[in-house]
Amino acid sequence: MPLEKRLSKTVKSRLDNFALNFSSSGFKFVISTLLGFVLTPIIIKNVGVEAFGLFKTLQDYIAYLLLLEFGLYGALLATFNKIINLDSNEKLQTFWVSISSYIKVALGSFFIGLLILPFITSLIKNDHLLDHSFYYSYIALLLGFVTLPFLSFKAYLEASQKGYLVSVGLTIQIVANAILIGISLYFKLGVPGLCTALLLSNCLSSLWYFYSSDIKLSDIIAQKKESLANSSLIGQITKMRKAMFFTDLAGKVCLFTDNIVIGYLLGAKFVTPFFVTQKLSLVIQTQLQYFSNSSWAGLGEIYHKDSPEALGQSIVDLTKWIGILGVVALVPLITYNRFFIELWTGPATYAGFSVTLVACLNAFFLGILTLWGWCFTATSKIDLLVPLNWTQTICNLTLNIVLTYKYGIVGPILATLICYVLINMTWLGSLIKREFKTSFLKLQASWILPLSYGIIFYFTWTYLRGPIESLGWFRLILEMSLEASLLLIFSFLLVMNNQERRASYNRLMKLLKRK
């Protein structure tokens, strides 16, 4: 087959996989949003504001225990992506190494979780919450570590550009969790019921990853001796784990410290409005990250098969797309989030405009930073991010506590925003310029342009709309949809150049012809 045809086929395959992965994550996004929209106010009403805040805080404590995997999942993604088209024995040996490692992590995490229980109870300000149901809830969450070995199969699916199967698994988990939560609320099981629902739904999705990977456990076990003797494979995974650990640590500090700090400094009752006010921005943030997650394996393929320069240009293009999608989704949320929260869970659960604004900015930047970070994972250059992650983690932890003391509930996410803008965007941009031969200014302009346009549009829309005291559901949905539609149209006309518009139009026509 001529080189031109092979390249065309490769590009088509990348685009098909990206479209399938992203559309499946979009379906999961819709299901997750609808169920979350229905269930959250019902849960808060049934278990109470403080108990719900405690539930969210406990989840974050458990999330920190996952640091004991020491970057194993990220190392597996990079390893599988590199050997996905090679000898199947190499893949089976990777499975054996990862599963045996995860079994050790699961046991260690469970017992360490039991050991730190007195420390966690000392951080809970409300003693009346520390009854037998608290301990049952905590144990139920700890038992979730039994599913860790199945993450090996999830990593394999993602590295194989089969993220759509991962999305199916997550959808199964979301739907099962919703059904089980409904049952627990019906029988008035409280927070223990919520934790048990989370445990069982997680088990279901884990079994799906194993089933859909089409890997036989007997084949993995057959490679045990060869796996233990493959020192180069073990060394490669160990080396990447060290770098991935610091990336994982930085991410967990940003995502899971906030509720813990607020629960300790301000009380569990403040966790609920903090969580609820950010709910939609977190949903959008997750979707922007899925956009990046859907493309990372393809970016790794570009690097390994084409050139660093080709990867650099792809990063610039995708950054602009994420910037545009972020602006289109987040600007209407900044405008109307107060009205949404008042209708959804009540005025008492709204944490204020400052929390909305900062949360939306964090979602915008994290969508871009996720893409940039994946570029180093996909190209096995994750060790370059270690100094950055150390710096960000220390700064974020320090600012988190200081700003929460000074500014209250907005403090934790304000600390995250400062770190994103002053540290991550510049440092990662410099690394991308050096490693993937792209212009630093061109890269930064690819997100600054959509963001600047979004700011101008927000003030214009707010001025033309005028002050509003309250909105009903119909008018709220209508106005948010109208603002998002206009943002998308003007983004297409003003933010994208002629070449980008033509390319987008051609892709759309190809999709329509296929249908």
Token pair of 80, please?
Answer: 């599988």
Say whether pLDDT at 80 is over 90: no
Q: Identify whether 30 is part of a domain.
A: yes
Among 204-213, 282-291, 425-434, the minimum mean pLDDT is found in: 282-291
Question: Which band of pLDDT confidence, cut at 50, 70 and 90, is reported for residue 512?
Answer: very low
User: Per the domain annotation, does 343 fall within a domain?
Assistant: no
What is the pLDDT, as a whole number, of residue 25? 73
How far apart CA 315 and CA 438 sit, in angstroms, is 9
Q: Domain total for the chain?
A: 1
> Which is nearest to 289 in space by CA: 237, 254, 341, 339?
254
Residue 400 lies in a domain: no
Q: What's the first-to-final CA gap in the chain, in angstroms?
A: 28
Instruction: Give the per-residue pLDDT at 290.
Output: 78
Mean pLDDT over 209-229 rounds to 88
Report yes or no on 278 lying in a domain.
no
Over the chain, what is the mean pLDDT? 86
Q: What's the residue count for the chain?
A: 515
Q: What is the crossing angle of helices 308-344 and 425-436, to 10°?
A: 150
Question: pLDDT-derived band of residue 1, with 50, 70 and 90 as boundaries?
Answer: very low
**Residue 246 domain-assigned?**
no
The pLDDT, as a whole number, for residue 4 is: 41
Q: Identify the pLDDT of residue 511.
A: 41
pLDDT above 70 for 500: yes
Assess if residue 492 is contained within a domain.
no
Q: Are 438 and 316 in contact (CB under 8 A)?
A: yes
Given this model, what pLDDT does residue 309 score?
A: 76
User: In this structure, which long-range contacts are made by residues 455-461, counting pairs with CB atoms below 8 Å and at least 24 apart in sequence?
Assistant: 457/327, 457/331, 457/486, 457/487, 457/490, 458/331, 458/334, 458/335, 461/331, 461/335, 461/486
Of 7 and 286, the structure prediction assigns the larger pLDDT to: 286
Do residues 333 and 287 touch, judged by C-beta distance below 8 A? no
Burial of 368 (0-12, 13-18, 19+ CB in 10 A): buried
Tell me if 93 sits within 8 A of 171, measured CB to CB: no
Residue 279 near residue 40 (C-beta atoms within 8 A): yes
Please compute, for residue 229, the number of CA atoms within 13 A of its CA located in the half-sphere on the CB side: 5
Is residue 478 included in any domain, yes or no? no
CB under 8 Å, gap of 24 or more: what pairs does 140-143 form?
140/192, 140/195, 140/196, 140/198, 140/199, 141/58, 141/59, 141/62, 141/195, 141/198, 141/199, 142/62, 142/109, 142/110, 142/113, 142/114, 143/110, 143/199
Percent of the chain clearing pLDDT 90 (strictly above): 52
In this predicted model, which residue has the larger pLDDT, 7 or 345? 345
- pLDDT tens-digit readout, 239-281: 888 777 877 777 777 777 898 899 888 888 899 999 999 999 9
What is the distance between the alpha carbons of residues 192 and 206, in angstroms, rounded to a whole number? 21
pLDDT category of residue 9 using cuts at 50, 70 and 90? very low
Mean pLDDT of 194-209: 97
Inside any domain, residue 45: yes
Query: How far, in whole angstroms, is CA 496 from its chain's centroid?
Result: 26
What are 159's two structure tokens?
Answer: 């590295």
| Domain ranges, residue 66 | 20-229
Please say whether the beta carbons of 80 and 160 come within 8 A: yes
Could you report the per-residue pLDDT of 100-159, keeping only the tens digit for each? 999 999 999 999 999 998 888 887 766 556 678 889 999 999 999 999 999 999 999 988
Q: Are 67 and 245 in contact (CB under 8 A)?
A: yes
The tokens 């829309």 sit on which residue? 461
What is the model's pLDDT at position 15? 54
